A and B are shown apart, each in its own frame.
Chain A
Amino acid sequence: MSYHEAPTIAASDAPRLDQDDRPTLRFVTCGSVDDGKSTLVGRLLYDSKTLLDDQLDALASESKTAGTTGGDLDFALLVDGLQAEREQGITIDVAYRFFATKLRRFIVTDTPGHAQYTRNMATGASNAELAVVLVDARKGVITQTRRHSHILSLLGIRHVVLAVNKMDLIGFDGDRFAAITAEYLTMAGQLGISEVQCIPVVAPDGDNIVAPSTRMPWYTGPTVTAYLESVDVSGDVSQRPFRLPVQWVNRPNAEFRGFCGRIASGTIATGETIAVQPSGRRTRVARILSPGGERDRAAAGESVTLTLTDEIDVSRGDVLTAGAAPQVSDQLAAHLVWFDDEAMVAGRRYMLKCGTASTGAVITTLKHRIAIDTMAQESAATLDANQIGYAHLSLDRALVFETYRDNRDMGSFILIDPISHRTAAAGMIDVSLRRATNIHWQRLAVDKSVRARLKQQRPCVLWFTGLSGAGKSTIADLVDRRLAELGRHATLLDGDNLRHGINRDLGFSNADRAENVRRAAEIAALFVNAGMIALVALISPYRSEREQARQRVETGEFIEIHVATPLAECERRDPKGLYRKARAGELPAFTGIDDPYERPQAPEITIDTSELSTDAACERIIGYLRDNHYL
């Protein structure tokens, strides 16, 4: 075979870093089990001569022992990487493959067709510009084809190659191919997939993969490779307004303060005016540092570091923008693809990550779910793994974003379960629900940092959590007095005392307890904003609630103090006689007795009062505040 002839290159042909010798096309393959996806990808690798001698030898020997092709080369073995997959004969996870032709480089994501692994398909599609959808010519368009195409359209894929595989098994029937094509085009039209190229193939034999098939002379269109090499998928991301989500603030010394990130859209030049979102403050670009050196201009896709002409507050999660203002809102509507085995729960708090910003988010309502067979919208209360829906979300703080259709990087997010840390869902922002565009948070002349300087302290929340009788209020009270002696401005929010005032409308149902904690967190955040140190003493038994409280303030402003006195000791003390009542069955759902206390996993400070006196505990907390420059 000709691939043994190695190309010769002149030694002077050094790679040219700043020239685009061959652009890269990222595409995803999808289809049902046994449609032949892995075989198609293996065939593309094989025909592009990406495979090397030792890999070909391994393929030949594995084809004999593990292959499903009776000893012929089984191209699927090139792609089905994990041992479990080889044993089961299916693809169970996303695999990334690289090959190149004379005209283009390709990164292909091979994704599973198994129904329960839809999440992997969405994963593959999220970074693809084009999709190759396989169907078995004998089966035509089936439920899986619809499901995958729907996900492709949700993820913004506009170019699809429909590869109708196994044409040999239907006798190379052109009429059948035309019927499948017509059915798919109708569906694609409904989904807004604008460009579809249908190609009849026989993947294991290579018909219409690289070379035109001699067995289907009635097909006169391009081969798969020819189409992939020539299709124009270029977006207009450089033409859109400038957006740079700030990833990292680079402060190596007092003279340099740079803001790092990858440009999501648009271009920027030195001297141009930019706005920092969500604050809306304006400044100008002083310098642009790129990996290739200092520059006067940079464009979408580049990882750069900008310095600004004014010293203004910019941190990770902010977005530097120019031109039309982005959306800024804490209420939005989005399409969701649910991943987690644990079903979606409306009202539950998730972590939302969009660009470089993270915030707590609650799915307020699920507007509808998609019935995958019919693509009809149906009402539902929840989403299970691999289901798709449309939901309203309420965020803890205003997010800077664009709609997904306008800007993939600025309009996509993931939801993370705050307890299991699994990625629960992927989201595509459809619309902002509050007309907040161009309306920024009221910028007050005196802000938190000014007040904090007046007080010579860094404001923060000291959140004391632990069982009833653990000593939270006693320690918090002493810390409060000690701070006063030191001339610092603090205030103590005690759970019991709050219930006499702002929370007197609340009882002890689960919902009321949650609201009790939420209000305390909100009040603490207001005090922090006023430059003060807020001490909160609350049992606050649930991790998610404490996490929610932490989200109300900025990173580093929340100090979780676990007063970890053992239950036996708390019960022995029983200062309010509550344990006795609980044991007698008079207080239902009492924390520690018949309701769980979820221990903090990584509290900033842990104190066990059975080992530490109140004074020593207080000194440890004051020491922590000094060591970490709060005082």
Chain B
Amino acid sequence: MTGQIVMEAPPAHDAPDEAPAHRSATSHLRRLEAESIHILRETAAEFRKPVMLYSIGKDSSVLLHLAMKAFHPGKPPFPLLHVDTTWKFREMIAFRDRRAHELGLDLIVHTNDDGLRQGIDPFTHGSARYTDVMKTQALRQALDLHGFDAAIGGARRDEEKSRAKERVFSHRSAAHRWDPKNQRPELWSLYNTMLAPGEGMRVFPLSNWTELDVWDYILAENIPIVPLYLAASRPVVERDGALIMVDDDRMPLLAGEEPHMRSVRFRTLGCYPLSGATVSTAATLPEIVREMMASRTSERQGRMIDRDSPASMERKKAEGYF
């Protein structure tokens, strides 16, 4: 390889101070915001019964904030849906209930009761089986149960390679399957929202945001996020090279494992047994953004489920995972 790296790492916040005071129509975050709001309004206008998937994470927090703006001074004309595996961090659940109450929104919580009865858990059944039953199947159950024809999610194209090819309005068959080879072409801002009975649409208003955009926007708009994103002293064990937080006494400790208090934070949040923490002292939003800029690993590194098998995300998506 003969390539020579000559560019400097991109400093994101070096805007000159003498920038014109009123440039809001063209600022990068404002453009992303305008595009996302356009997509949310299209969804509300074109579908019979849309729903917003609320996963409580930072992307969901941004999505919710945008939905509040899109329909201001009214409320978003769709409910929130949280697929609860019962293994989320306790702080996430508390945050979820508080936000829904504060904003006066309709929150639907769905758990796969069949999976619960079978006692599916991430420790004994492995992350692949567990994710399929408690997340993918649960989501499909909830969409069918309520007859939602469009589900709005916070996925971004920069997250992962198969996501990079996802449409903004992504068609799903009546069996909730994604067919990556038969996607509808998506031109300009014109979205084909036609569905046959039983079919559905997944809608991704944050498609063109990057992880850094999300943090910049959270900081600029002062959007509430789950405190787990900020560094604090938490009990963790090291397992398979990842730091797992012992959030309750359901986690079986292996021989030699002993929880230690360490200053950690999470870049992505999900089920606590599947969310790896990073050692960090970044306890404020500006510190997180600074750490992000310096980061040398991608956010999905902390996610156990992407590593099950090659192309595992693509396969999960085809089966109906978000």
Contacts and interface: CB of A to CB of B under 8 A. Distances in A.
A510 interface: no
The residue among B10, B197, B217 with the most chain A CB atoms within 10 A of its own CB is B10
A301 B37 CA distance: 11
A414 B188 CA distance: 9
Interface string B285-305: 011011001111110010000
Contact of A7 (B35, B294, B296): B294
Q: Chain B interface secondary structure, helix, strand, loop or mixed? A: loop
Interface stretch (A116-124, A450-458, A469-477, A556-564): A116-124
Contact of B294 (A6, A248, A353): A6
B76 to A, nearest CB: 11
Contacts of A2: 5, 8-9
A601 B196 contact: yes
Given A18-B23, A48-B7, A96-B208, A252 B75 contact: yes
Contacts of B75: 252
Interface stretch (A98-106, A483-491, A604-612, A620-628): A98-106
Contact of A123 (B28, B34, B185, B220): B185
Interface stretch (A49-57, A172-180, A322-330, A585-593): A49-57
A250 B71 contact: yes
A481 interface: no
Nearest to B189: A409
Given A6-B293, A20-B23, A100-B12, A15 B190 contact: no
B65 to A, nearest CB: 10
B4 A211 contact: yes
Interface in B189-218: 189-190, 192, 194-197, 207-208, 210, 216-217
Contacts of B44: 248
Interface stretch (A366-374, A420-428, A496-504): A420-428
Contact of B70 (A100, A206, A301, A303): A303
A19 interface: yes
Contact of B10 (A48, A291, A426, A602): A48
Given A11-B286, A127-B188, A102 B26 contact: no
A421 B164 CA distance: 24
B19 A210 contact: no
Interface stretch (A77-85, A429-437, A460-468, A529-537): A77-85
B69 A291 contact: yes
Interface stretch (A21-29, A392-400, A515-523): A21-29
Contacts of A16: 13, 15, 19, 27, 220
A97 interface: yes
Contacts of B184: 422-423
Interface residues of B, number: 90
Contacts of B239: none
B290 A11 contact: yes
B190 A20 contact: no
Interface stretch (A87-95, A129-137, A277-285, A573-581): A87-95
- How big is chain A's contact interface, by range? 35 or more
Contact of A302 (B30, B216, B298): B30
Interface string A341-359: 0000000000101111000
A299 B26 CA distance: 9
A122 B184 CA distance: 12
B36 to A, nearest CB: 8
B315 to A, nearest CB: 8
B7 A101 contact: yes
Contact of A19 (B23, B33, B69): B23
Given A6-B9, A52-B298, A98-B158, A20 B19 contact: yes
A95 B310 CA distance: 19
A405 interface: no
B3 A47 contact: yes
B27 A123 contact: no
A3 B5 contact: yes
A97 B164 contact: yes
A211 B3 CA distance: 8
A81 B6 contact: no
Given A49-B9, A303-B37, A18 B69 contact: no
B125 interface: no
B146 interface: no
A301 B31 contact: yes
B239 to A, nearest CB: 18
Given A23-B28, A211-B6, A250-B71, A93 B183 contact: yes
A298 interface: yes
A95 B164 contact: yes
B187 A205 contact: no
A17 interface: yes
Contacts of A46: 3
The residue among B7, B34, B290, B314 with the most chain A CB atoms within 10 A of its own CB is B7
A305 interface: yes
Interface string A582-600: 0000000000000000000
B5 A21 contact: no
Contact of B28 (A20, A354, A423): A20
Given A22-B28, A206-B2, A416 B194 contact: yes
B23 A602 contact: no
A98 B10 contact: no
A1 interface: yes
Given A96-B208, A303-B34, A7 B11 contact: yes
A113 to B, nearest CB: 16
A618 B41 CA distance: 38
B293 A303 contact: no
Given A5-B9, A21-B15, A96-B208, A81 B164 contact: yes
B287 A81 contact: no
Contacts of A1: 5
A18 B24 contact: yes
B222 to A, nearest CB: 10
A384 to B, nearest CB: 16
A2 B219 CA distance: 29
A271 to B, nearest CB: 18
B162 A301 contact: no
A101 B8 CA distance: 8
Contacts of B216: 15
B77 to A, nearest CB: 9
B34 A205 contact: no
A92 B190 contact: no
B117 interface: no
A362 to B, nearest CB: 18
A167 to B, nearest CB: 13
A439 to B, nearest CB: 27
A302 B34 contact: yes
A401 interface: no
30 contacts: A2-B5, A3-B9, A7-B11, A11-B284, A13-B286, A17-B27, A21-B28, A23-B28, A49-B9, A53-B296, A72-B1, A81-B162, A82-B165, A82-B314, A95-B164, A206-B2, A206-B4, A247-B38, A250-B74, A252-B71, A252-B74, A262-B38, A289-B73, A303-B37, A305-B72, A409-B189, A412-B190, A421-B196, A422-B192, A426-B185
Given A2-B5, A7-B293, A206-B3, 14 more contacts: A4-B296, A11-B290, A13-B14, A15-B29, A23-B26, A49-B9, A82-B314, A84-B180, A206-B2, A248-B71, A260-B70, A262-B38, A303-B41, A416-B194
Interface of B: 1-15, 19-31, 33-35, 37-38, 41-42, 44-45, 66, 69-75, 157-158, 161-162, 164-165, 180-181, 183-190, 192, 194-197, 207-208, 210, 216-217, 219-221, 284, 286-287, 289-290, 293-298, 301, 310-311, 314-315
State the 5 A-B residue pairs at the shortest beta-carbon distance, nearest first: A252-B74, A6-B294, A81-B161, A206-B3, A21-B15
Interface of A: 1-9, 11-24, 43, 46-49, 52-55, 72-73, 79, 81-84, 86, 92-98, 100-102, 105, 107, 119-120, 122-123, 126-127, 205-206, 209-211, 225, 238, 247-248, 250-253, 256, 258, 260-262, 289-292, 298-303, 305, 316, 339, 351, 353-356, 408-409, 412-414, 416, 421-423, 426, 601-602
